[in-house]
């Protein structure tokens, strides 16, 4: 029987989409690349197809993911970047051999050194992280307002006031929680001491 894996959360920014392969970091964390094969799947849907991935490469990918998350979180808070995270991001970026090529449709496509080059794919992700942490892109790094999430995301909205990493998940959940709380407030507490007449004397 095939194993069921949690769905990916794919966004428009490669680096922060990659950090979203681990969600609910402040609650019951959900690992979305639990196996090497699942990392292969994520890379494929992100335009970085590889043939295979070893357990060691998966460990390296997760190390990069957490380093990007740490650096992006620090940047969003305007804190100093953690040196170990910067070192991992830079190592992955410089070890990759991917090349950007232009398609006939005018789109950018990444050509990896070989179809099994996970290191090349990680290099592309690391370079994308560098561009957003360094402030080279039009947008701002922010942290999800959900207390169980706190994911770093790249806000490209016109007002730059986005609060949720994903409106369909964290945002929708928080909206439902506020609605339930408001409904509870409107219903008010039931009768009790000091809130109206109690029962009359027994007859």
**pLDDT mean over 92-113:** 92
User: pLDDT at position 202, please?
Assistant: 39
Higher per-residue confidence, 87 vs 170:
87
Q: Are 68 and 18 in contact (CB under 8 A)?
A: yes
End-to-end CA distance of the chain: 68
Instruction: Decide if pLDDT at 163 tops 90.
Output: no
Place of tokens 């849907």: 45
pLDDT digits (tens, 9 = 90+) for 45-90: 999 999 999 999 999 999 999 999 999 999 999 999 999 999 999 9
Res. 16 pLDDT band, cuts 50 70 90: very high
What average pLDDT score do residues 25-39 get?
A: 94
Let me know: does 121 contact 50? Beta carbons within 8 Å.
Answer: yes
Q: Specify the pLDDT at position 106.
A: 93
**115 pLDDT tier (thresholds 50, 70, 90):** confident
Residue 41 structure tokens: 């799947």
Q: In sequence order, what DSSP letters do the residues of the chain get, joined into one string?
A: -PPP-PPP---SSHHHHHHTTEE-TTSS-EES--SHHHHHHHHHHTT---S---HHHHHHHHHHHHHHHHHHHHHHHTPPPPHHHHHHHHHHHHH---EEEE-TTS-EEEE-SSTT-HHHHHHHHHHHHHHHHTT-SSSEEEE-S-TTT--EEEE-SSSS----S-IIIIIHHHHHHHHHHHHHHHH---S-TTSS-------
Check residue 4 and give its pLDDT: 84
Q: What is the token pair recorded at 141?
A: 């790094």
Nearest to 61 by CA among 99, 95, 27: 95
- Classified by CATH at the fold level, domain 14-139 comes out as Jann2411-like fold (1.10.3300)
pLDDT at position 1: 47
Tokens 């990918």, located at residue: 61
pTM: 0.81
The contacts found for 131-139 with CB under 8 angstroms, 24 or more apart, are 132/13, 132/15, 132/16, 132/72, 133/71, 133/72, 133/75, 133/81
pLDDT at residue 201, rounded to an integer: 43
């Amino acid at each position: 029987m095939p194993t069921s894996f949690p769905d990916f959360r794919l966004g428009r920014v490669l680096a922060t989409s990659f950090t979203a392969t681990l969600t609910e970091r402040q609650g019951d964390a959900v690992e979305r690349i639990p196996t090497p094969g699942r990392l292969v799947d994520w890379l494929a849907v992100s335009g970085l197809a590889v043939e295979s991935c070893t357990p060691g490469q998966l460990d390296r990918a997760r190390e990069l993911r957490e380093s990007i998350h740490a650096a992006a979180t620090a940047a969003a808070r305007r804190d100093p970047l953690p040196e170990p995270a910067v070192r991992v991001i830079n190592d992955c970026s410089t070890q990759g051999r991917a090349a950007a090529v232009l398609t006939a449709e005018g789109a950018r496509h990444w050509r990896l050194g070989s179809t099994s080059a996970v290191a090349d794919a990680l290099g592309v992700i690391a370079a994308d992280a560098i561009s957003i942490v360094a402030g080279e892109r039009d947008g701002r790094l922010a942290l999800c307002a959900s207390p169980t999430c706190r994911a770093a995301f790249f806000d490209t909205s016109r007002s730059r006031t986005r609060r949720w990493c994903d409106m369909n998940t964290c945002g929708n959940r928080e909206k439902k929680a506020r609605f339930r709380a408001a409904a509870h407030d409107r219903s008010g507490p039931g009768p009790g001491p000091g809130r109206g007449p109690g029962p009359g004397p027994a007859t």
